[in-house]
Chains A and B, each alone.
Chain A
Amino acid sequence: MSAIAINPIYRAVRFYEAPIGKKAVMAITGVMLVGYVIGHLLGNLQIYASDPEQINRYAAFLHNPANAIPLWAIRGVLLAAVILHITASVQLWLQNRAARPVGYVKKDDVPASYAARTMIWSGPIVGAFIVFHVLHLTVGAVLPLEDINQNPHTPNVYENVILGFQNPWISGFYILAMILLCLHLYHGMWSMFQSVGISHPRYTPKLKKGAAILAILIAIGNCSIPIAVMAGLLHL
Chain B
Amino acid sequence: MRIILHIWRQRSAGEKGRMVRYEVPNVSEHMSFLEMLDVLNEDLTMRGEEPVAFDHDCREGICGMCGAMVNGIAHGPLPGTTLCQLHMRHFKDGDELYLEPWRARAFPVVKDLVVDRSAFDRIIAAGGFIAVATGSAPDGNAIPVPKDDAEKSMDAAACIGCGACVAMCPNASASLFMGAKMAHLGLLPQGQPERERRAVAMVAQANRELFGSCTNIGECEAVCPKDIKLEVIARMNRDFLRAKWAGEEGVAGD
Complex: A119 Cα to B218 Cα, angstroms = 14
Residues of A within 8 A of B229 (CB): 201
Asked if residues A99 and B104 are in contact (CB atoms below 8 Å), the reply is yes
Contact of A21 (CB < 8 Å), options: B219, B244, B248? B244
- Bitwise interface map of A from 124 to 163 toward B, beta carbon under 8 Å scored 1, else 0: 0000000000000000000000000000000000000000
Known: A96-B172, A108-B72, A201-B229. A196 touches B218 (CB 8 A): no
Residues of A within 8 A of B231 (CB): 199-201, 204
Interface SS, B side: mixed
Residues of A within 8 A of B204 (CB): 18
Chain B residues touching A, range:
35 or more
Q: Flag whether B41 is at the interface (Cβ < 8 A).
A: no
Q: Separation in Å of the B49 CB from the closest CB of chain A?
A: 21
Asked if residues A20 and B213 are in contact (CB atoms below 8 Å), the reply is yes
Residues of A within 8 A of B240 (CB): 18, 20
Complex: A53 Cα to B236 Cα, angstroms = 52
- Bitwise interface map of A from 97 to 126 toward B, beta carbon under 8 Å scored 1, else 0: 111111111111110110011010000000
- Bitwise interface map of A from 75 to 115 toward B, beta carbon under 8 Å scored 1, else 0: 00000000000000000100111111111111111101100
Q: Flag whether A6 is at the interface (Cβ < 8 A).
A: yes
Q: Flag whether B3 is at the interface (Cβ < 8 A).
A: no
Q: Flag whether A222 is at the interface (Cβ < 8 A).
A: no
**Contact residues, B52-109 vs A (CB, 8 A):** 69, 71-73, 98, 100, 103-106
Look across to chain B and name the residue whose beta carbon is closest to the beta carbon of A111.
B222
**Contact residues, B197-213 vs A (CB, 8 A):** 203-204, 207, 210-213
Residues of A within 8 A of B251 (CB): 3, 6, 10-11, 14
Chain A residues touching B, range:
35 or more
Complex: A92 Cα to B212 Cα, angstroms = 8
Closest 6 CB pairs of A and B: A197-B238, A199-B234, A19-B213, A99-B212, A96-B171, A108-B72
Q: Which residues on A are within 8 Å of B, measured CB to CB?
A: 2-4, 6, 10-11, 14-15, 17-24, 92, 95-110, 112-113, 116-117, 119, 187, 190-191, 193-201, 204
Q: Which residues on B are within 8 Å of A, measured CB to CB?
A: 6, 8, 19, 69, 71-73, 98, 100, 103-106, 170-173, 203-204, 207, 210-219, 222, 229-231, 233-241, 244-246, 248-252, 254
Given contacts A105-B98, A113-B218, A194-B230, 5 further A-B contacts (CB under 8 A): A92-B215, A117-B217, A193-B234, A197-B236, A201-B229
